Amino acid sequence: MDQFNSFLIILDSYLSGSWWFPALLIGTGIFFTIYLGFPQFKYFNSAFKIVSGKYNKSQSDGETTGFQALTTAMSGAVGTGNIGGVALAIWTGGPAAIFWMWITAIFGMTTKYVEVTLGHKYRTKLKDGSISGGPMYYIEQGLNIKCLGFKIPSKSIAILFAFLMMITAIGSGNMPQINNIALVMNTEFSVPKLFTGLVLGILLWVIIIGGIKRIASVASKIIPIMGIIYFGGAVIILIENYQNIIPSFNAIFQQVFTGSAAIGGFLGASFAMSLKYGVARGLYSNEAGQGSSPIAHASSKNKSIDQGVVSILEPFIDTLVVCSVTALVILSSGVWTQKFDTTFSKTDMIILDGIYNDKKNSDGDFIYPNQINELTNYVQSIDSEVNEYSGQLEVKNGELQNDKITILHSRSIAEDVRVFINDNSKTNYFNGLINVENGKVNESVIIRGKSLVSSAELTAKAFSQGILGQYGGKLVAIALLLFAFSTSITWCYYGDRSTAYIFGEKAVIWYRNFYVLCFILAAVIDTTVVWNIAYVVVALVSIPNLIAMFALRKEMKQLSDGFEIK
């Protein structure tokens, strides 16, 4: 698993971790924003009027209303990215990462407008009478690419996109969702992870076999409920920490182009890390440019351009509202720099040879500034001279006897570390020798201690501060359950439409079976590995979609110019 995770990290470094992917993603949004005359602002009010149903005249075939299509697409976008993903961005890239999430969302509103309009226009009716649309259809009919003098058939590119979307549905819309649900349900309610996976897996199956009509019906009810629950709890936290709201905004803006400074247990983040994770989390949250949402919007009875205008609301609500609220709760509560008792994940843990310290002296400087700088570089996967420890560690009554090592967990220096026998007991201490190779523990032991936390666990900690107490974490658990489960429902639809495009309708049932199986297994898979899978597949599926959108820019311009502002 460690080797697979390392491979994913290397692969991601050439995709979303490289400079060209954020440039392609944001650049596409900037280009269409200018080319189409800032539609995200010009048509913003019209989007609300259309989705309200006032202008819905059912002028085209479809299986859902404009509102149902929007809530279905939003249920696919509003998931762990809004709870766990925002926390992950702050944990890795610091507060400045939120700024880049916002930038991605603002230009993503235009990107979404373009891809949804095209996806709706080029949709088709299958033999069983169902509607199927999305980028694979406008890629097939509108994209011609030449490479090294050879023409690549557009059908081949469309099949590639659909195949990548099948994988993305599992690696992005499925596995991270149940993984976060299981983690938080286990933390807050002590529910076994496998039990959570099995119960929700069965419920998932019952819903997805009903197709888009049942999915849309469920989504249109879950989205408003979960929004009220989550937003209400967030407002309580923000009111309680009102004095920290302005400083939180300052923290976001002050270090946008310099990276986030070290503070508390947080060791700092470079500009590159803030940009990378801000853009990555922004894309993962609102899916603009990814090509997934057009599949849901294609089922709408609205005209193509009208549904495209409606989709502008997606990134706005998803990222600029929900994600921003999550970020402010985390930053204003201060939990992102605090260490909490937690069970260490072996993937997120490494043992270093030497003593490092994240404490500051009275002047605000690190006690060992040179070592801290090297350490910061290392934990961000940037080349450094930090040495991993290899050898044996003696443990007596759960305490490590070697005082010349440093344990890193979740990008922070671990404290109060204890080693336990591989069971659920918190008093059954380990005694003996532990073998360590290149900083990784090879023994089947449980290691616990204090460190930073990330993902949904960090958001739960933020909601647990102050007046809500332990009920805050439970509120996050319930909200995450609704958010993430609805996402998994919608993403199965994206996957099965892609399956139908390649293999036909008869293959959909097999894809759904495999989808549910992965859903159940992901409940007990390491969180870090799941997120790294998501990073890779999301980047891969976006590339052909963004290229196709640019190729069809003139057609999109004609459609946009023909829209009448409501």
Let me know how many helices (H) and strands (E) the chain has, helices first. 25, 14
**pLDDT tens for residues 493-509?**
999 999 999 998 889 99
pLDDT in tens, 83-111: 877 888 888 888 999 999 999 899 999 99
**Three-state SS at 45:** helix
Q: What is the pLDDT of residue 60?
A: 64
Amino acid at 70: L
pLDDT the model gives residue 381? 41
- CA dist 236 and 256 (Å) reads 28
Kindly indicate the confidence band of residue 560, based on its pLDDT and cuts at 50, 70 and 90: very high
Domains and CATH numbers, the chain: 2-338+461-561 (1.20.1740.10), 341-451 (no CATH)
CA dist 361 → 227, 368, 439, 502 (Å)? 44, 10, 28, 62
pLDDT for 150 equals 61
CA distance 295 to 45: 24
What digits encode the pLDDT tens for the residues 246-264?
Answer: 999 998 998 888 877 777 7
Cα separation of 111 and 29, whole Å? 5
pLDDT of 313 strictly over 90: yes
| Tokens matching residue 325 | 């609220």
pLDDT-derived band at 204, boundaries 50, 70, 90: very high
- Lowest-confidence region among 50-54, 128-132, 233-237, 357-361: 357-361
pLDDT of 239 above 60: yes
Determine which of 156-170, 210-224, 333-347 has the lowest per-residue pLDDT on average. 210-224
pLDDT the model gives residue 25: 85
| Of 97-111, 214-228, 452-466, 540-554, the least confident | 214-228
pLDDT of residue 382: 38
Extract the tokens encoding 194.
Answer: 């496998």
- SS (HEC) of 124-167: EECCCCCEECCHHHHHHHHCCEEECCEEECHHHHHHHHHHHHHH
**Which pLDDT does position 532 carry in this prediction?**
76
Quote the CA–CA distance of 480 and 464 in Å, as a whole number.
15
**Residue 270: what residue type?**
S
Can you tell me the distance from the alpha carbon of 28 to that of 17, in angstroms, rounded to the nearest whole number?
18
Q: How far apart are CA 561 and CA 35, in angstroms?
A: 11
Phi-psi region of 407 (alpha: psi -120 to 50; beta: other; left: phi over 0): beta
Report yes or no: 472 and 368 within 8 Å, Cβ to Cβ: no
Neighbours of 382 (CB within 10 A): 12
- Distances in Å between the Cα of 338 and the Cα atoms of 261, 450, 492 are 15, 9, 37
State the pLDDT at residue 146. 56
Looking at residue 450, what is its pLDDT?
94
Calpha distance 396→433 (Å, rounded): 9
Q: Which long-range contacts (CB under 8 A, 24 or more apart) does 442-446 make?
A: 445/419, 445/420, 445/421, 446/343, 446/419, 446/420, 446/421, 446/422
Cα separations (Å) of 463 from 233, 373, 483, 488?
Answer: 8, 32, 16, 24
Per-residue pLDDT, 127? 79
Q: Is the pLDDT of residue 559 over 90?
A: yes
pLDDT given for residue 116 in this prediction: 96
Residue 251, CA distances (Å) to 61, 231, 255, 365 in order? 49, 22, 7, 19
Q: What integer best gives the mean pLDDT of the chain?
A: 84
**Strands of 445-451's sheet in order across:** 340-343, 445-451, 415-421
User: Is pLDDT larger for residue 332 or for residue 255?
Assistant: 332
Which amino acid, 308?
G
Angstrom distances, CA of residue 13 to CA of 53, 338, 385, 531: 44, 28, 20, 14
pLDDT of residue 427: 76
Q: Which residue has the higher pLDDT, 277 or 134?
A: 134
Burial degree of 10 (CB within 10 A; 0-12, 13-18, 19+): exposed
Task: Please give the pLDDT value at position 433.
Answer: 93
Who's near 278: CB < 8 A, 6+ residues apart? 89, 93, 96, 97, 98, 99, 100, 101, 103, 104
Q: Is the dihedral of CA 307, 310, 316, 321 positive or negative?
A: negative
Mean pLDDT (whole number) for 5-27: 82
Please report the pLDDT score of residue 295 as a whole number: 93
Rounded mean pLDDT of 443-450?
A: 90
Q: Cα separations (Å) of 157 from 288, 315, 556?
A: 20, 27, 20
pLDDT of residue 369: 46
Q: How many CB atoms lie within 10 A of CB 257?
A: 11
Whole-number pLDDT of residue 102: 92
Kindly report the backbone phi and psi dihedral angles of residue 439, in degrees, each rounded to the nearest multiple of 5, phi listed first: 85, -5
According to DSSP, residue 535 is labeled H
